[in-house]
Amino acid sequence: MATTALFFVFAGLAIACAISMVYHKNPLYSAISLIGVFVSLSVLYVTLAAPFIAAVQILIYAGAIMVLVVFVIMLLNMEEDKPLNRLRYLYAIGGGLGLILLVQTFFVFYAVMRAPKQAVNTEETIGKTMSIGTAMYTEYLLPVEIVGILLLMAIIGGVILVRKLSQPQMESMVERELERRHEGEDKDDYRIAL
Amino acid sequence: MESVIKTAFPFIVFSIAILLAFQGVLMIVAYTVLAERKVLGWIQGRIGPNRVGPWGVLQPFADLLKFIFKEDLVPDKSTKFVYFLAPIVALTCALLPIVVYPFGPVITTIDWSFLPYGLGDNIRQLPMTIAQIDVGVLFVLGITSVGVYGIALAGWSSNNKYSLMGGLRSSAQMISYELAMGASVIGVVMLAGTLDLNGIINAQINSPFKWFIIPQFIGFIVFLISAFAETNRVPFDLPEAETELVAGFHTEYSALKFALFFMAEYVNMFTVSVMVTVLFLGGWYVPGLGHLLEPGSVPYALVSHVAFIGKICAFLFLYIWIRGTLPRFRFDQLMNFGWKFLLPLALANVILTIIIVFFLNR
Amino acid sequence: MEPSLASYLALSGILFTIGAVGVIFKRNAIGMFMCIELMLNAVNLTFVAFSRYYADVTGQLFVFMVMSVAAAEAAVGLGIIISFFRNRVSVDVDDASILKN
């Protein structure tokens, strides 16, 4: 009973926040709406008996990713999106495509629900930290390691992308890199290629 | 009638519990403010507030009244919605973790059969925690990390360059030190084998030598330092450095909205003190008390609860003491310290703990 | 009484569609990024709902993977947006047309 009430309140909140995110032109308002979606989804995870995922959702999405996004929005001090005057009719086409996608999604879910596998009554251990940790470090060890490497690559990539280099520094870096790679070859061709 | 009461009973009980806990925490916070002014006064050779009531004990209420009756100024070109949202977010995120604090041991000896309509039939024990969730540590870390928005949005929406600088500095600082804080907790979680705050305390009882401050001393130091940075307190109070930024993110806030930020800061101090106590100092556990009083009885729970509050107050005093003695860092020093010293230290602690736990469990 | 699996799936479908439509409508790179995050979250909800109703922990594990990938995406994506802003002083994807022609 209480679960159903929670579901409808927070499902409505999630949809409202999602629509407001797409609707608002100001990126910061969009970001705040998206945080609302994340928090409502976190409550929904609690109603699905997944407290660990709910806490991680708050910690990673609301606490880390969106802080980064808000930080970038504030740092770049973006102005609002200009209205798209030419190509107005594209909005209608976009909305139509969205409607088709919605119908398709529902159709897929309908097919899945009719699949022979029956829903079983859940044991209480699913969703507890222990069961997730056990599965993570036994059955799914390789994917976890791969995700770890992916995160390391993302860290390095992020640092390299936003590193600020002055023009001479950049040129000398390119020069050195070229010399290292193609000693004795004609450098100029490669510089154009870069 | 009976079924209505049976349905409403849990809601009433939880409402009372929440009311009690929030009221208690807010009273402690109010008196922390007074204690801060008194202690700072003594450190600086002054007397401190002593006009309102005997020894100034009614000062927090006088301050509250003043905040309520001050004029509420709103900057002309601020983004109104965000400007009003920011203090609410800050205080809500500061207060939410209260629901998982383990305020004391479970009481098992009360006989609940005196309750009408058989309400007490299924109650075996009375935990001194509002919500016993499996992932308490993650919950507290997550909610406090959401608190950054309050400060960042306040700085952005005030439309004032000092506020913006303060907000940006503060978000950068809190993001950076959150990492070190999270990494320093991992060691404790590994030793306790659970993310539940009550479970972590239960892993530390029976002997003061089991307190995690001993096996996790590096983690304790890292946690304490990053806790100071997380709460924007001296020596890491860059976001509100008066000499550089006027008052940082809350320059444009006045009256009750400023009071909300002010309270949020002190509630955050309380939260961090609770976390240090629970993670490293055994929470409500008092060495030797189990021999004097029966565990599970009401007096045992009350003495433990008082001990818990006492440990927290010791940390709150440490906060004030450090504020009275240390100067402020420079911003680049702060960032270098967090990323190049604290984070590697915390990670080294994690690896060391992994090795030790591995060999202990063989 | 608990909400059925179908209601969670319906919510997930609606959120996914809103995210997809947002990617079509928005021209601000950060806005598009946020819409993609919304779509990832809709998928996560499906995972957790199935994990609950089939009593299988695998779904929650994959939510964890999706979150890690989203974090990696945030780091790299925002890095790209910042360096793009440095070069073009804009985050409008219409300005990222230097490879055209």
Q: pLDDT tens digits, chain C, 101 residues: what are they?
A: 677 888 888 899 899 999 998 888 888 888 899 999 999 999 999 999 888 888 788 888 889 899 999 999 998 998 888 888 877 777 777 777 766 65
- What is the pLDDT confidence band of residue A33, given thresholds at 50, 70 and 90? very high
Nearest Cα residue in chain C from A162: C79
DSSP state of C15: H
Question: Inter-chain contact C64–A157, Cβ cutoff 8 Å?
Answer: no
Q: Cite the DSSP H helix spans in chain A.
A: 2-23, 27-47, 51-56, 66-76, 89-113, 129-137, 141-162, 167-181, 187-193
C1 exposure class (CB count in 10 Å sphere: 0-12, 13-18, 19+): exposed
Determine the Cα–Cα distance for residues B308 and B281; give it in Å rounded to an integer.
10
Tens digit of each residue's pLDDT (9 = 90 or more) over B47-86: 888 888 788 888 888 888 888 888 888 877 777 888 888 8
Confidence of residue A121 (pLDDT cuts 50, 70, 90): low
What is the pLDDT at residue C29?
87
| A21 vs C38, C48, C72: nearest CB | C38
pLDDT at A192: 44
Q: Which residues contact B4 (CB under 8 A, 6 or more apart)?
A: none
**What tokens were used for C75?**
């780091």
Strand-pair partners of A161: none
CA distance A119 to C55: 8
> Subunits that touch chain A (at least 3 Cβ pairs < 8 angstroms)?
B, C
The answer as to whether B321 is a domain residue is yes
Kindly state the percentage of chain A with pLDDT values over 70: 76
Residue A137 contacts B where some CB pair is shorter than 8 Å: no
Closest CA to B346 of B216, B213, B214: B216
Residue B46 resides in a domain? no
Q: Cβ C13–A106 below 8 Å, yes or no?
A: yes
Chain B interface, best mutation among A24, A30, A40, A70, by max B CB count within 10 A: A70
| B and A adjacent (3 or more CB pairs under 8 angstroms) | yes
Residue C5's pLDDT is what?
Answer: 81
Give the count of alpha carbons within 13 A of A178, CB side only: 17
Distance between CA atoms of B239 and B245, rounded to whole angstroms? 8
Amino acid symbol at B315? F
Average pLDDT over residues B197-221: 86
| Residue A148 CB contacts under 8 Å (≥ 6 apart), including other chains | none
| Cβ <8 Å between A127 and C57 | yes
CB pairs A-B closer than 8 Å: 72
Compute the average pLDDT of residues B326-350. 87
Is B in contact with C (3 or more beta carbon pairs below 8 Å)? no
Contact between B238 and B334 (Cβ < 8 Å): yes
The pLDDT of A37-53, averaged and rounded, is 90
Taking the C-alpha atoms of residue B266 and residue B91, their distance in angstroms, rounded to an integer, is: 10
- How far are the Cα atoms of A150, C66, C72 from residue A143, in angstroms, in the given order? 10, 11, 15
Contacts of A105 in chain C (CB under 8 A): 13, 16-17
Q: Which of A57-61, A82-86, B7-11 has maximum average pLDDT?
A: A57-61
Largest CA distance in chain B: 66
What amino acid is encoded at A23 in this protein?
Answer: Y
C27 touching A (Cβ < 8 Å): yes
Domain annotation covers residue C96 = no
For C54, the 3-state DSSP assignment is: coil
Q: Would an 8 Å CB–CB cutoff place A64 in contact with chain B?
A: yes
Structural domain includes residue B202 = yes
Closest-CA residue of chain B to A46 = B133
| Contact assignment for A78 to C22 by CB distance below 8 Å | no
Percentage of chain A exceeding pLDDT 90: 23
Report yes or no on C64 lying in a domain: yes
Listed in sequence order, the residues at least 6 apart from B156 whose beta carbon sits closer than 8 Å to its beta carbon are A28, A74, B79, B82, B163, B164, B167
Greatest distance between any 2 Cα atoms in chain C: 60
Instruction: Supply the pLDDT for residue A81.
Output: 60
Instruction: Supply the range of the domain harboring residue B247.
Output: 59-360
* Residue B156 binned pLDDT confidence (cut-offs 50, 70, 90): confident
Give A54's contacts in chain B (Cβ within 8 Å): 135
Domain membership of residue B16 (yes or no) is no
pLDDT band of residue A17 (cuts 50, 70, 90) is: very high
Burial class (CB in 10 A: 0-12, 13-18, 19+), B241: buried
In a domain, B52, yes or no: no
CB interface of A with C, residues 110-169, below 8 Å? 112-113, 117, 119-123, 126-127, 131-132, 135-136, 140, 143-144, 147, 150-151, 153-155, 157-158, 160-162
Q: Work out the pLDDT band at A20, boundaries 50, 70, 90.
A: very high
What's the rounded Cα separation, in Å, for the pair B123 and B120? Answer: 5
Give start and end residues of each alpha helix (H) in B281-297. Answer: 289-292
Please give the distance of CA A89 from its chain centroid, rounded to a whole number. Answer: 29
* pLDDT for the residue A70: 87
* Mean pLDDT for all residues in chain A: 80
Cβ pair B273, B310 in contact under 8 A: no
Phi-psi region of B245 (alpha: psi -120 to 50; beta: other; left: phi over 0): alpha
The total of other beta-carbon atoms located within 10 Å of residue B113's CB is 10
In a domain, B266, yes or no: yes
Residue C55 lies in a domain: yes
Q: Are B216 and B188 in contact (CB under 8 A)?
A: yes
C84 closest CA partner among A28, B164, A76: A76
End-to-end CA distance of chain B, in Å? 59
Of A29, A51, A58, the CB nearest to B134: A51
Residue B341 lies in a domain: yes
Shortest CA distance from B172: residue in chain A: A71
> How far apart are alpha carbons A18 and A36 in whole angstroms?
8
Total number of domains in chain C: 1
CATH number of the CATH domain containing C13 = 1.10.287.3510
| Nearest chain B alpha carbon to A52 | B135
What value does the mean pLDDT of chain B take?
85
Q: Calculate how close chain A gets to B247, using CA atoms only, in Å.
A: 19
Identify which has the larger pLDDT, B66 or A170.
Answer: B66
Tokens of B78: 């601020």
| Chain C residues closer than 8 Å to A68 by CB | 74-75, 78
Q: How many domains does chain B have?
A: 1
Measured between alpha carbons, how far apart are the two ends of chain A, in Å?
Answer: 63
Could you tell me the residue range of the domain that residue C10 belongs to? Answer: 5-89
Residue in the structure block whose two tokens are 């880390």: A64
Nearest CA in chain B to A29: B82
Confidence of residue A124 (pLDDT cuts 50, 70, 90): low
Q: Is residue B2 part of a domain?
A: no
Residue C98 belongs to some domain of the structure: no
Q: Which of B52-56, B101-105, B226-230, B262-266 has the lowest mean pLDDT?
A: B52-56
Least confident of A24-38, A49-63, A72-86, A180-194: A180-194
Q: Is the pLDDT of residue A189 over 50?
A: no
The whole-number average pLDDT for the span B289-304 is: 83
For A134-156, write each residue's pLDDT tens digit.
Answer: 888 888 899 999 999 999 999 89
CA angle A126, B130, B15 (to 5 degrees): 120
pLDDT of B112 above 90: no
C99 assigned to some structural domain = no
Residue C62, in any domain of the structure? yes
Asked if residue B91 has pLDDT above 50, the reply is yes
What pLDDT band is residue A185 in, cutting at 50, 70 and 90? Answer: low
Q: Which of B132, A40, A53, A119 is nearest to C2 (CA)?
A: A119
